[in-house]
Amino acid sequence: MPYYTCRNGACPTGGQPFSLTGAGQTYCPRCNTPNSLTAAPVAAPTTQTRVIATSNAMHAAGGAADEVEALIAKWDLNTVSDDEARKTKDYLYTLGSNSKRIDREGPVNNGNRVVTHGKFRLQFGSKTYAGVWVKVNEILDAAVIRRAFRESMAAKRYVEVYLG
Ligand SMILES: [Zn+2]
């Protein structure tokens, strides 16, 4: 299914790609502006990752890497709402004991106190081996979020996951 964007600056799609419901359609299904669709279809947004270079350095997983990997493999969420992101939740996933865990920490906010990401941290005891910031209210790919945890373990920084 090809994707389009709307050229109407006031369109509620906000320039985000969308698919059409009817073949040969030339008006935007959200703002109904005629001939507002871009001529060339654009690719659908996909789940992206990005190392947050400014985040705090983490511990090296070292000999724990296999167990960290086993804990990451349990992750099966593909979305986090802004309401969920606001609430901390310990032991979202654990490996063997509560000491080896992924916790949902406090939210990431922008400068205007709007919640932008849920923050998840993988810890063994007091050592942090990986963590991700998951953009709120987006349907993401759980496998890419798992990959983001692995990228974080390698980079020893938080990794952002978002649609782009
Ligand atoms: Zn539109």
Q: Is 130 found in the same domain as 92?
A: yes
Q: Say if pTM beats, i.e. exceeds, 0.85.
A: no
Tally of helices (H runs) and strands (E runs) in the chain:
3, 9
27 and 84 fall within a common domain = no
The whole-number pLDDT of residue 12 equals 87
Parallel/antiparallel/unpaired status of strands 108-109 and 18-19: unpaired
**Interatomic CA distance for residues 87 and 104, integer angstroms:** 8
pLDDT, residue 23, reads 76
What's the gap in Å between 154 CA and the centre of ligand 1?
42
Same domain (yes/no): 7, 73 = no
In terms of domains, do 54 and 91 share one? yes
Residues 6+ apart with CB under 8 A from 51: 151, 152, 155, 157, 158, 159, 160
C-alpha 19 – ligand 1 centre gap (Å): 12
Q: How far is CA 69 from CA 124, 126, 136, in A?
A: 12, 18, 24
**Shared domain check, 65 and 35:** no
Q: State how many domains the chain has.
A: 2
Give the count of beta carbons closer than 10 Å to the beta carbon of residue 24: 5
- In single-letter form, the type of residue at position 90 comes to D
- Given a cut of 50, the residues of the chain with pLDDT beneath it are none
How much distance in Å is there from the Cα of 88 to the middle of ligand 1? 37
Residues 61 and 140 in one domain: yes
60, 87: one domain:
yes
CA of 32 to the centre of ligand 1 (A): 6
Same domain, 113 and 153: yes
pLDDT of residue 40: 60
Whether 101 and 153 map to the same domain: the answer is yes
Instruction: Say how far apart CA 101 and CA 125 lie, in whole Å.
Output: 8
Q: Are residues 30 and 93 in the same domain?
A: no
Residues 116 and 102 in one domain: yes
Q: Tell me if residue 153 falls in helix, strand or coil.
A: helix
Distance in Å, CA 115 to ligand 1 centroid = 26
Q: In which domain, by residue range, is 110 found?
A: 47-163
> Within a 13 Å sphere around the CA of 32, how many CA atoms are in the beta-carbon half?
0
Domain identity same for 70 and 39:
no
Query: Residue 112 has what pLDDT?
Result: 86
Residue type, 144: V
pLDDT of residue 41: 65
